[in-house]
Amino acid sequence: MSKNVTLLKKIVAKNLVAGRIKDIAKAIENDLEKTQLYKLVGQATGYETGEGNFGPWIAFKGNFEAYDKDLNVYKSNKAFVQEPLQSMIKEVLDGDAEMCEFGLTVAVRRRDDLEVGYEYEISPMIEVAESDSLTHLRTLALEDNSPADELKKPPKKTAAKK
């Protein structure tokens, strides 16, 4: 499936794309087309905020994997997510959630009317959802016909010996 796995300090668009994003956007013929940059799946367990050259930022902490167009895999415990999903994930984590799971596709679209010359287009692959660390195991254990179903059945009665 993948050609290689790269561990990154953080998952951010510029670390996953060969070349500058602005150059990729310029190569797009018109603003109706887009170019997929990468896919990102993750389990966010928290976040940190800060201020940088381009304004305020939010970095999610947790477990993340990104896949570029060549299916190379990038892993990190920190990821930057574009809006509107950034706000949605933050909102889940600001509630009582232990974890927020998500999956998204990031594409770039040419925008000559913007100073930067492009905009990101974010498409969810799965619904942003509250989760906890046992959700997957709980689902497997309670699934119909799972080995755990045997534990739910009453014990078999054995015939008395004569």
Number of domains in the chain: 1
- Read off the pTM: 0.75
Q: Spell out the residues 6+ positions from residue 114 whose beta carbon is closer than 8 angstroms to its own.
A: none
- Asked if residue 108 has pLDDT above 90, the reply is yes
User: How much of the chain, in percent, has pLDDT values that exceed 70?
Assistant: 81
Task: Write the pLDDT tens digit of every residue in 134-154.
Answer: 666 677 777 765 554 554 454
Residue 117 phi/psi, 5-degree rounding, is: 95, 0
- Mean pLDDT of all residues in the chain? 84
Q: Is there a domain that residue 148 lies in?
A: yes
Helices (runs of H) and strands (runs of E) counted in the chain: 5, 6
Helix (H, G, I), strand (E, B) or coil at 128: strand
Instruction: Please give the residue range of the domain that contains residue 28.
Output: 5-152
Task: Write the pLDDT tens digit of every residue in 32-43.
Answer: 889 999 999 999
How many residues are recorded in the chain?
Answer: 162
Q: Is there a domain that residue 161 lies in?
A: no
Q: Is there a domain that residue 33 lies in?
A: yes
Q: Which of 62-66, 111-115, 131-135, 158-162 is least confident?
A: 158-162
pLDDT-derived band at 2, boundaries 50, 70, 90:
very low
Q: Is there a domain that residue 137 lies in?
A: yes
Q: Which residue has the tokens 């045997």?
A: 150
Q: Is there a domain that residue 113 lies in?
A: yes
User: What local confidence, expressed as pLDDT, does residue 159 receive?
Assistant: 56
- Asked if residue 45 has pLDDT above 80, the reply is yes
pLDDT-derived band at 62, boundaries 50, 70, 90:
very high
